[in-house]
Amino acid sequence: AQRVTQPEKLLSVFKGAPVELKCNYSYSGSPELFWYVQYSRQRLQLLLRHISRESIKGFTADLNKGETSFHLKKPFAQEEDSAMYYCALTGGNEKLTFGTGTRLTIIP
Partner 1 sequence: NAGVTQTPKFQVLKTGQSMTLQCAQDMNHNSMYWYRQDPGMGLRLIYYSASEGTTDKGEVPNGYNVSRLNKREFSLRLESAAPSQTSVYFCASSEAGAFTEAFFGQGTRLTVV
- Which residues sit at the interface with partner 1, rule CB under 8 A? 6, 9, 32, 34, 36, 43-46, 49, 51, 86, 88, 90-101
**Closest CB 89 distance from partner 1, rounded Å:** 9
Nearer to partner 1, 36 or 106 (CB): 36
**Closest CB 95 distance from partner 1, rounded Å:** 6
**Closest CB 58 distance from partner 1, rounded Å:** 20
Q: Is 16 left (phi over 0), alpha (psi -120 to 50) or beta?
A: left
Nearer to partner 1, 101 or 104 (CB): 101
